[in-house]
Amino acid sequence: MDSATESRLRVLVVDDEALIRQSLCRGLARRDDIEIAGECESGAQAIAAIRDLLPDLVLLDVQMHDGTGLDVVERVGPEHMPAVVFVTAYDEYAVKAFELSAVDYLLKPFDDERLNRSIDRAKKQIMSARAGDLSTQLRSLLESKAERWPDRLVVRTGEHFDLVPVSTIDWIESANNYVQLHCGTKHFLLGETLTSLAERLNPHKFVRIHRGRIVNLSRITAVHPLFSGTYEIELSGGTRISTGRQYREQIQALLKS
């Protein structure tokens, strides 16, 4: 094995969009100093691959259908994570958090030049970082995540991204591995599970009332009890949505407050 081969960086590519993975792999394949260790399309696959393949670097999607890139870091543990470049659509809070933690990120959509800059920065960081530096940065990023709830959600619609202010959401409905955001007369399909999104939203402003529904508390105008022990929630604008029986305590706590 020659010195060039020995110095190649083993990179794991993680993104739930096949086109993004293909674009990343094409860009990486053009470099002699990179070896693609593997590809993953979900957070669960990423966790297993990081533990099994032990890559030097992970290009990690921030928002996937089964969770977030930060969930992956949390599950693997910052102390066991390789270097990370987060791949994200524009989100002001996310970018600010990455910058504060000195963790690199790659904004979608990107070209080869931007990808190469991120890889070069990551390689330099890996070569120069003292033991524990990378885990400290990731731990700092997890702590920043816990300190604040997102102000906007990034929704991919065709070839562009919609930045949806959380304050405009009336209610949210599960659609298999997606969620439908109901914002007045506008509706957006977000590639994330309801459970994952529920964990990211401020619980003082959004409450889960059904296994398939979350409601913005500020939009509730009336609560109508039903004979089955459930309730019908009336929202400003007249929309009515029913609750699930297992969420009765949440509704009762809401009425008491």
**Given a cut of 60, is residue 140 above it in pLDDT?**
yes
Query: 236: part of which helix (H) or strand (E)?
Result: none
Q: What is the pLDDT of residue 90?
A: 60
Q: What is the pLDDT of residue 93?
A: 52
Residue ranges per structural domain of the chain: 3-147, 152-256
Asked which of 1-5, 55-59, 68-72, 185-189 is least confident by mean pLDDT, the reply is 1-5
Q: What is the pLDDT of residue 4?
A: 46
Fold topology of 152-256:
OB fold (Dihydrolipoamide Acetyltransferase, E2P) (2.40.50)
Q: Is pTM beyond 0.85 here?
A: no
pLDDT band for position 24 (cuts 50, 70, 90): very high
**Given a cut of 90, is residue 233 above it in pLDDT?**
yes
pLDDT band for position 5 (cuts 50, 70, 90): very low
Considering only CA atoms, which of 190, 11, 23 is closest in space to residue 108?
A: 23
**Per-residue tokens: 194:** 């309801």
**Given a cut of 90, is residue 157 above it in pLDDT?**
no
pLDDT in tens, 93-126: 566 667 656 568 888 888 999 999 999 988 888 8
Assign 150 to helix, strand or coil: coil
Q: Work out the percent of the chain whose per-residue pLDDT is above 90.
A: 45
Q: What is the mean pLDDT of the chain?
A: 86
For 161, residues 6+ apart whose C-beta sits below 8 A from its C-beta are 89, 90, 108, 154, 155
- Residue, of 145 and 137, whose pLDDT is higher: 137
pLDDT band for position 168 (cuts 50, 70, 90): very high
The two domains 3-147 and 152-256 share their CATH topology (first three levels equal): no
pLDDT in tens, 195-204: 888 878 888 8
Cα–Cα distance measured from residue 165 to residue 150, given in angstroms and rounded to the nearest whole number: 9
Fold topology of 3-147:
Rossmann fold (3.40.50)
At residue 235, φ and ψ (nearest 5 deg) are: -105, 160
Q: Work out the percent of the chain whose per-residue pLDDT is above 70.
A: 88
